[in-house]
Amino acid sequence: MRTFLTLTLVGLTLPLQAQEKQPAAVNNGNPNNTSYVLKVQSDLVLTNVVVRDKRTGAVVRGLTAKDFTVLENGKPQTIQTFDFQSIDAATPLNEATVSGKAGQLVLGKGTGTGVVTGDELRNHRLVILFFDLTSMQPDDLSRSVAAAKNYISRQMQAADLVAAVSLDASISVDQDFTANKQALLAAVSHYDNTRQGGYQAGATSTTNQTEDASSFTPDESEYNDINTDRQLYAIAEISKSLAYINQKKSLLYFSGGIQRDGIENEASLRSATNSAVRANLSIYSVDMRGLQAISPLGDASTGSVRGASAYNGQALQNNLDANFNTQEVLSTLAADTGGKFYGDSNDFAPAFQAMENDTAQYYVIGFRSTNPARDGRYRRLQIKLNRADVKVEYRPGYYAPADYQHSNHEDRERQLTEQLESDLPATDVPVYMAAYYFELTPDRYYIPVSLIVPGSQIPFVKGGDRDKATIDIIGEVKDGAGRAEGGVRQTVKLAIDQQQQVSRKNVQYTTSFTLPPGKYHVKFVVRENETGHMGSFETDINVPDLSKAPLKLSSVLLANQRQTAPKSKQANPLIQDGQLWVPNVAHVFRQDGHLYLLYEVYGPGTKTADARAQSPRLLTSIEFLSGSTKVFETPLVEATKLTDASRNTIAFQFDVPLKDLKPGQYTCQVNVIDDRAGAFSFPRTGVLVR
């Protein structure tokens, strides 16, 4: 097992952060030019409780703290705060800026010093209208704006405080919480005229058509994974910004669907739902594509279908599966946070009505835990009532805070191990990962695994003329039966020249495993050792059995830099001609840079008893397509000699300057033809040029 560490220029959009780090105030229609900031106590454990009559389902009013018993892990807790919220008793506010402890959601320009206390926010409904501009087409965006305007104009009540937030290249709080309908209408109307910059509306691919059994489609999974992570991290950021507000919050999530490939985005999805639960935020997700008529031949956004798939139902099934996959995440977000999902309908009013009904009346109970340990463990809650004719609804538990600075070495190692074994992911530090495969012998494969951590997420400490930091890395790979096949535990010390602007670079760590063909599960945990923040990434990988393939082709590795390789006697296919290839995990490249491609063909030539005695003849080239139009192709390369006789391998290396390609998204197709064996392969992958 070998590792190497590199610093690379930013090749993917860094995880989302609020545009303002410090609390700010806003003034929208307040005649006194006064804005408000909510002050709360963050050491309370708060949970909302809805008590309904078992027979009628009506909310039971008039209960007191003495009627409730709160248990944490079976131990009684003393109720410190108790309140009943009902919008019927709300006192209208002219303006309110609601800020949590970190103040991340506030993006205002006012200079007022007013303070909204908990009493003043009692009985008010807090609503966030979240517009995901990265996933909606222009028609979807227009429908979302129309639905939001209808809610603001006709359904919004005096007790409602509403904010408008959007996701484009970053999170933007376009209107902080306010009761001013005109200010909200102005903010929402702006989205109809929005023109995307670095990200285009509808950038997430939702098409997965299959032309026929021998056709190829672009592999855009890496690009989609990162874009989906951005969307889910945005929800997590909004949730964290509101975590210190006592009242229940509701988020109306307007989306054109979220594409998720298998479990690659499982960590960010769990983080988003867990952050929302901690913040008492319910998500009401709305698929703004509305009622769709899915054609078996696809729509104008895709190329023509060839082969038999248009006639045997395969193309239609692929389109239905793709549509379902983009709704599955929206449904999960709603179900796991106590909200509802609305899709396959052109009537979006029920989403607003459900949100209003769910937040009309509820009890808020707060207590300070008798367990002082800041161990980050899950604590189960039980809330009981001294009567049997009612039904009690509440969240089942919460995660205790964790204190890293006061833990010893053994505790820190245990935290890493527990996080590696935990089903709940760590997402304080964003982590991205990619895995590849190269054949060493017919039954053993070299599996390089590359991790990316944005340098901006690692707090470097100044030491002389260098910035220093330490990160811990732990990982393992398990087979289909859950048996460990390999592991990594390493502490990496970083020392970077201060002129290198680490915050604008990525820290990339690469290790490798040697595995036989089969299906595996890989998980890695990364921790920076200044604050103890951790991030994790896990995914399933498939190591194919190339002995059954007509043309034995390795992974196609894309890179934007190569380094002088350290001397080693171990076989490493990523080292070619003395240079070490650094994988580009995100497949995002700069126009003024280069795109390097590396791939290998094993056992080329005619299939005989001694294949090595044959003279191979391989033809290969690289081409770039924009849609269905070829925009660039390299000259055809012919190979007739093995580059590594010990592995019966021909390795191909390409250096493609990108200066002649316009910024945009492309399909990179690798053409490989084995002329002697009459076999061929045309793998594709998505590439973004900036």
Question: pLDDT by residue (tens digit) across 11-49?
Answer: 333 233 322 332 232 333 333 333 333 334 346 777 878
Of 548, 577, 607, which residue sits at a domain end? 548
593 shares its domain with 673: yes
pLDDT of res. 479: 93
The percent of residues in the chain predicted with pLDDT above 70, rounded, is: 72
Q: Based on the structure, what is the number of domains in the chain?
A: 3
pLDDT of res. 316: 52
The CA-based diameter of the chain, rounded to the nearest angstrom, is 91
pLDDT of res. 9: 37
- Please indicate, yes or no, whether the overall pTM of this predicted structure exceeds 0.85: no
- Residue 28 placed within a domain: no
463 shares its domain with 343: no
- Residue 9 placed within a domain: no
Higher per-residue confidence, 688 vs 205: 688
536 shares its domain with 623: no
Higher per-residue confidence, 248 vs 112: 248
Higher per-residue confidence, 85 vs 490: 490
- Residue 417 placed within a domain: no
User: How far is 358 from 265, CA to CA, in rounded Å?
Assistant: 29
Residues in a beta bridge with 667 = 625, 686
CATH of the domain at 488: 2.60.40.1470
pLDDT of res. 261: 60
**Averaged over 203-227, what is the pLDDT?**
44
173 shares its domain with 244: yes
pLDDT of res. 119: 58
Could you list the residue range(s) of the whole structural domain that residue 76 is in?
Answer: 36-367
Q: What is the pLDDT of residues 116-126, one digit of tens each?
A: 555 566 677 88
558 shares its domain with 430: no
What single-letter amino acid sits at 258?
Answer: I
Of 520, 548, 576, which residue sits at a domain end? 548
What single-letter amino acid sits at 442?
Answer: P
287 shares its domain with 351: yes
**Averaged over 437-457, what is the pLDDT?**
91
Do the beta carbons of residue 83 and residue 363 sit within 8 Å?
yes
471 shares its domain with 497: yes
pLDDT of res. 200: 40
**517-542 in b/e burial notation, b at 16+ Cβ within 10 A?**
beebbbbbbbbbbbebbbbbbbbebe
Place of tokens 């995440």: 329
Q: How far is CA 9 from the centre of its chain?
A: 21
pLDDT score of 635 more than 80: yes
Higher per-residue confidence, 244 vs 659: 659
pLDDT of res. 245: 75
The SS3 of residue 319 is: helix
User: How far is 122 from 124, CA to CA, in rounded Å?
Assistant: 5
**Averaged over 211-226, what is the pLDDT?**
47
pLDDT score of 658 more than 90: yes
pLDDT-derived band at 504, boundaries 50, 70, 90: low
pLDDT of res. 396: 73
User: How far is 552 from 160, CA to CA, in rounded Å?
Assistant: 62
CATH of the domain at 568: 2.60.40.3880
Q: What is the pLDDT of residues 161-177, one digit of tens each?
A: 899 999 887 888 888 88
Residue 407: CB atoms within 10 Å: 16
pLDDT score of 360 more than 70: yes
For residue 456, the 8-state DSSP code is G
pLDDT of res. 618: 94
pLDDT of res. 462: 76
* Complete DSSP assignment for 459-495: --EEETTEEEEEEEEEEEEEETTS-EEEEEEEEEEEE
- Residue 22 placed within a domain: no
For 476, the token pair is 């393992």
User: How far is 446 from 444, CA to CA, in rounded Å?
Assistant: 7
For residue 464, the 8-state DSSP code is T
Mean pLDDT of the chain: 77
Where does residue 501 fall: left (phi above 0), alpha (psi -120 to 50 degrees), or beta otherwise?
left
- Residue 393 placed within a domain: no
pLDDT score of 199 more than 70: no
pLDDT score of 607 more than 60: no
150 shares its domain with 138: yes
pLDDT of res. 302: 56
Higher per-residue confidence, 658 vs 333: 658
Among 70-79, 103-112, 429-438, the least confident range: 103-112
Do the beta carbons of residue 288 and residue 255 sit within 8 Å?
yes
pLDDT-derived band at 499, boundaries 50, 70, 90: low
**Averaged over 598-616, what is the pLDDT?**
73
pLDDT of res. 90: 62
pLDDT-derived band at 135, boundaries 50, 70, 90: confident
The SS3 of residue 570 is: coil
Which of 559, 489, 478 lies closest to 520 in space, CA to CA? 478
- Residue 353 placed within a domain: yes
User: How far is 639 from 604, CA to CA, in rounded Å?
Assistant: 10
Of 334, 349, 367, which residue sits at a domain end? 367
Q: What is the pLDDT of residues 268-316, one digit of tens each?
A: 777 787 788 778 888 998 888 865 555 555 555 555 555 565 555 555 5
Among 7-21, 57-71, 142-156, 573-587, the least confident range: 7-21
Higher per-residue confidence, 498 vs 630: 630
- Residue 124 placed within a domain: yes
505 shares its domain with 566: no
3-class SS shares of the chain: helix, strand, coil, % to 5: 20, 40, 40
Our separate counts of H helices and E strands in the chain read 9, 39
For residue 93, the 8-state DSSP code is -
pLDDT of res. 655: 94
pLDDT of res. 125: 83
User: How far is 69 from 79, CA to CA, in rounded Å?
Assistant: 8
pLDDT-derived band at 444, boundaries 50, 70, 90: very high
156 shares its domain with 179: yes
**Residues making up the chain, counted from first to last:** 690
The percent of residues in the chain predicted with pLDDT above 90, rounded, is: 33
Higher per-residue confidence, 394 vs 395: 394
pLDDT score of 215 more than 80: no
80 shares its domain with 99: yes
Among 169-178, 372-381, 452-461, the least confident range: 372-381
- Residue 610 placed within a domain: yes
pLDDT-derived band at 426, boundaries 50, 70, 90: confident
507 shares its domain with 556: no
